[in-house]
Structure 1
Amino acid sequence: MKRLFYLVDRMDSVEAISEDLHQEGITDWRFHILSRDEAGLFTRKLHSASLFDRTDLPRYTERGALAGGLFALAFIATAQWTQAFAMPTVAWIALFLFMVAAGAFLAGFGGIGAENYRIRRFHDAIENGEHLVMVDVRKKDEQRMKELMAQRHPEARLQRETSSFNNPFVEEDGKPHLF
């Protein structure tokens, strides 16, 4: 799936876009609106971006789980090699899962306080009163959605398109970063 990012100046336009997307069969789960005016979104019953869309919680959690898993593998391999602990296989599996979960949990604290890497570039525009509309479309429907938005909503400016899936190793610049 692709995620299309549109900036819109007026809340009335955002409401019209929402209605048109619903008419096209796009559900609330496939488009999200990020705005400084959360009360306006609520009043107009528009689908506000979730915590997962606004923050880097999912990406940091994925990174933490990977780091916890790598640490667990290193620890368990060393413990098995040196035979420092005699534990049944089930205990080793439980320890591995615990360390993966602990890594994800601890990294989540960093992610919940960080702005989502995909929307960071729109921070100033949102703070200045613009609204970010994020639409998830199948690759086969991408061109049709762009045409629909251009015809019916020329005020909505396409800013970016990315995958709708998180990549724990990519920063805003599109280059891979490990940690």
Structure 2
Amino acid sequence: MRRLYFMVPNVGSAKAIVNELLLARVEERHIHIIAKEGTPMEDLPEAGLAQKSDFVPALERGIAVGGATGVLAGIVAVTFPPAGLALGGGAILATGLAGAGFGAWFSSMIGSDVPNTQIKQYEEAIEKGELLMMVDVPKDRIDEIGELVKKHHPEAEINGTEPTIPAFP
């Protein structure tokens, strides 16, 4: 899946684009819209925590760093066992999993309060009243969906794609 970014001038255009995307068999759960606070979104699919914050990238970093730290702590514990305990490979696995779990929890708590770094470049336009539409589509439909929006809505500004999005949000 890839994420397409569109800047849409108003709610009416956004509604029309969403309806066309739904007719083109793009599921509503793959359409996310961010607007200036106070903009009446009506029945438009509003972006959630995973799209508005840095939650997912922070979670990924936390798992990696926490897991690596846990494995290193496990290796140290096996190499220099505390109080003469006999520790084996299970200790390395256990500390690695515990570190990954703690790292994921801790970093996702921080990431949920940090704005999404991909959205920062659109903040000025959003504050002026435009809407940011993010559409998650399979790689083979990127051109099709982009052309559909350009053809029927020349007022929508297509701002490119994000290389990859996680499969689970």
TM above 0.5: yes
The residue matched to 2:25 in structure 1 has which SS? Answer: coil
Cα 1:4/1:118, change in 2 over 3 Å: same
1:64 to 59, 62, 75: 62
Aligned residue in 1 for 2:111: 111
The residue matched to 1:73 in structure 2 has which SS? Answer: helix
TM-score (norm 1): 0.84
Code of the residue aligned with 2:113 in structure 1: it is G
The residue matched to 1:40 in structure 2 has which SS? Answer: coil
The residue matched to 1:3 in structure 2 has which SS? Answer: strand
Aligned residues: 164
CA contact (8 A) 1:136 1:164 kept: no
Cα displacement string for residues 138-175 of structure 1 (whole angstroms, at most 9, x for unaligned residues): 22111111111111111110112112425xxxxxxxxx
Aligned residue in 2 for 1:75: 73
Write out aligned runs for 1:42-57 (5 A): 43=42, 45-57=43-55
Structure 1: gaps spanning 5 or more residues: 167-179
CA contact (8 A) 1:5 1:161 kept: yes
Aligned residue in 2 for 1:175: none
Code of the residue aligned with 1:82 in structure 2: it is F
Aligned residue in 2 for 1:176: none
The structural deviation recorded for 1:90 is: 4.7
- Is 2:145 the partner of 1:145? yes
The structural deviation recorded for 1:81 is: 1.5
CA distance in 2, matches of 1:15, 1:71: 47
Cα displacement string for residues 58-94 of structure 1 (whole angstroms, at most 9, x for unaligned residues): 1111111111111111111111112334346555533
The structural deviation recorded for 1:121 is: 0.8
Aligned residue in 1 for 2:127: 127
CA contact (8 A) 2:71 2:93 kept: no
TM-score (norm 2): 0.88
Code of the residue aligned with 1:96 in structure 2: it is G
Structure 2: gaps spanning 5 or more residues: none
